[in-house]
C-alpha cells in the first residue's frame, strides 16, 4: 500500500495536567500507528501563547510531528482529532517530494546556505 509523508501540528487544551498532556500525545500517536501510519518524529513544543483566543483560552500545549501514512488514514485521524475534547485545533499537511527532500536535508543538517552572513550582521 502506498503511503504519503505528512506533518501534523495540534494544540492541546492548556488546563490539563502534565500527565494528561502525555496521555493525549500517546493517544494521537497510537491513532496514527493504528491507522497504518509510521511515526518519523514527534516533538512537544509545550505551552505557547496563542495568536488569538480560542475557546476562551490564550495558551495551548503545542505538538508537532511527521509521519508516513496511507491517504485513507488521514480522514480517520482527523475525525478522531475533531471529536477529542482535549484538542483545540489541528492541522495536517501532505508533503510533496520537494518538501520531503527539504525535511530530510534539514534532519541530517545538510541544508545549503543561501546567503552568507556579513561581519556587520554577525555583530548585531
The DSSP secondary-structure symbol of 114 reads S
**Total Cβ atoms within 10 A of residue 28:** 24
For helices 18-34 and 71-83, give the axis angle rounded to 10 degrees.
150
Question: Whole-prediction pTM value?
Answer: 0.82
Q: What is the pLDDT of residue 24?
A: 95
**Rg (alpha carbons) of the chain, rounded to whole number:** 17
Q: What is the pLDDT of residue 1?
A: 65
Q: What is the pLDDT of residue 119?
A: 66
Q: What is the pLDDT of residue 118?
A: 66
Q: Going residue by residue through the chain, which has 124 residues, state the pLDDT in tens, using 9 for 90 and above.
A: 688 999 999 999 999 999 999 999 999 999 999 999 999 999 999 999 999 998 889 999 999 999 999 999 999 999 999 999 999 999 999 988 888 888 888 888 887 777 777 666 666 5
Q: What is the pLDDT of residue 30?
A: 96
Cell of residue 51, nine digits: 495568536
**Total Cβ atoms within 10 A of residue 67:** 23
Ordered strands of the 4-12 beta sheet: 38-54, 57-69, 4-12, 87-94
Amino acid at each position: 500500500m502506498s503511503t504519503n509523508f505528512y506533518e501534523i501540528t495540534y494544540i492541546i487544551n492548556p488546563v490539563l495536567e502534565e500527565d494528561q498532556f502525555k496521555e493525549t500525545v500517546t493517544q494521537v500517536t497510537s491513532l496514527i500507528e493504528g491507522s497504518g501510519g509510521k511515526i518519523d518524529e514527534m516533538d512537544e513544543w509545550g505551552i505557547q501563547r496563542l495568536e488569538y483566543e480560542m475557546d476562551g483560552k490564550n495558551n495551548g500545549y503545542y505538538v508537532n510531528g511527521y509521519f508516513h501514512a496511507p491517504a485513507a488514514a488521514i480522514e480517520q485521524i482527523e475525525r478522531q482529532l475533531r471529536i477529542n475534547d482535549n484538542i483545540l485545533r489541528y492541522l495536517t499537511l501532505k508533503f510533496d517530494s520537494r518538501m520531503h527532500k527539504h525535511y530530510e536535508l534539514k534532519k541530517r543538517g545538510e541544508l545549503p546556505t543561501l546567503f552568507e552572513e556579513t561581519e556587520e550582521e554577525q555583530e548585531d
